[in-house]
Amino acid sequence: MGLKTLAKITNSKLSDCDVGTKEIIFRPNNNDIKLNIDIKISTAASIGLLLQPIQIACLGFNHSNNLVLNLNGGGTIGKWAPDLNYLKNVTYKIFEKSNYKINIDIQRYGFYPKGGAKTKCIVSLSSKELKPINLTELGNIDIINGKIICSENLIHAKVSERIKKSIDKEINQKLEINTDIEFQYVNTLSTGVGLCLWGKSDKGAIISSGTILGEKNISSEKVGSIAVNELLKYIENNIPVDNYLSDQLLPLMGYIKSPSKIKVLEVTNHTKTNLELIKRFTNREYLIQTNENESIIEFQSL
């Protein structure tokens, strides 16, 4: 879906691209960009994943206007993908520090299996030179923020309130850091629970729990505890970039000509694959320095 959308934006040629396709040929055309696109998503496909090939491709567009994507359908929060609140408050905040601005307006949330979200994404195709990314120290965090989203049919069970209470209690006990956790009950086609925690540091880092989902047979209190423990492992090890953010920063680091460097808790298989793909597209060499409980990933000057 991401490739089909990208082909539509750029009037590029794309070979058959459907479930089961074993080979894809994409012939790019950067000279004919449509700046306002309507996208219909008939499934609960992750909007966060759909945006990833587009946000990478937009780095190469020579244009001074904004690209507006109007997305009808899809999922805002789901398994194995960044939810849109994570992108808004973590990924795109770090992008913005590099002069790459992406804004998401969530007009309706969508969960698996029906999806049904409604969102608008605006990508600033600025000609500003991108600044390098250097996140190697966590620094101090004064407050933990968070967003809990629950379908409105769960309001009587007070699912959001119970998750929030669990988060506040555990962070107070384990970290002694103030919290500002918001929750919202929303009208969705399918029932769902999702949340994300994040903390901004005085060194410019934003670490996060990633996307945490509520599931059957897992209590609301346990969901809150899982989110806190995910966040805790980065704070305890002085890690400024979580495992999910690292994958999303690497293409940007590979594109920026100046050297960039990040410290991560682990170099995942996703990260290794990502690095090798970036190397093939950009001819950039990367370095990985691994120590106990941390690794430094660095792209040298182009």
**Cα–Cα distance measured from residue 275 to residue 285, given in angstroms and rounded to the nearest whole number:** 9
Residue 135 forms part of a structural domain: no
Intervals of the chain under pLDDT 50: none
**Cα–Cα distance measured from residue 245 to residue 264, given in angstroms and rounded to the nearest whole number:** 9
Check whether residue 253 and residue 149 sit in a common domain.
no
Residue 131 forms part of a structural domain: no
Check whether residue 23 and residue 116 sit in a common domain.
yes
**Cα–Cα distance measured from residue 249 to residue 246, given in angstroms and rounded to the nearest whole number:** 5
Check whether residue 164 and residue 269 sit in a common domain.
no
3-class state of residue 156 by DSSP:
helix
Phi and psi at 56, nearest 5°, equal -75, -45
Q: Show Cβ contacts of residue 291 under 8 Å, excluding neighbours closer than 6 positions.
A: none
Check whether residue 115 and residue 15 sit in a common domain.
yes
| Biggest alpha carbon–alpha carbon distance for the chain | 56
For the domain that residue 223 is a member of, what is the CATH number?
A: 3.30.360.20
**Element containing residue 247 per DSSP (H, E):** helix 243-255
Cis peptide before 113 (omega within 30 of 0): yes
Identify the domain boundary among 124, 155, 176.
124
Check whether residue 271 and residue 175 sit in a common domain.
no
Check whether residue 15 and residue 101 sit in a common domain.
yes
For the domain that residue 258 is a member of, what is the CATH number?
A: 3.30.1370
Model pLDDT, residue 100:
95
Residue 134 forms part of a structural domain: no
For the domain that residue 10 is a member of, what is the CATH number?
A: 3.65.10.20
**Cα–Cα distance measured from residue 108 to residue 106, given in angstroms and rounded to the nearest whole number:** 6
Residue 200, CB-side half-sphere exposure with 13 Å CA sphere: 11
Query: Identity (one letter) of the amino acid at 153?
Result: N
Check whether residue 227 and residue 251 sit in a common domain.
no
Model pLDDT, residue 176:
86
**129-188 pLDDT tens trace:** 899 999 999 999 999 999 999 999 999 999 999 999 999 999 999 988 999 999 999 999
Residue 31 forms part of a structural domain: yes
Residue 130 forms part of a structural domain: no
Check whether residue 177 and residue 108 sit in a common domain.
no
Model pLDDT, residue 129:
87
Check whether residue 230 and residue 246 sit in a common domain.
no
- Domains in the chain: how many in total? 3
Check whether residue 150 and residue 256 sit in a common domain.
no
Q: Show the tokens assigned to 193.
A: 């629970």
Residue 70 forms part of a structural domain: yes
Identify the domain boundary among 221, 236, 251.
236
Identify the domain boundary among 191, 214, 236.
236
Check whether residue 150 and residue 43 sit in a common domain.
no
DSSP 241: B
Check whether residue 227 and residue 257 sit in a common domain.
no
Residue 202 sits in which domain range? Answer: 141-236
Residue 266 forms part of a structural domain: yes
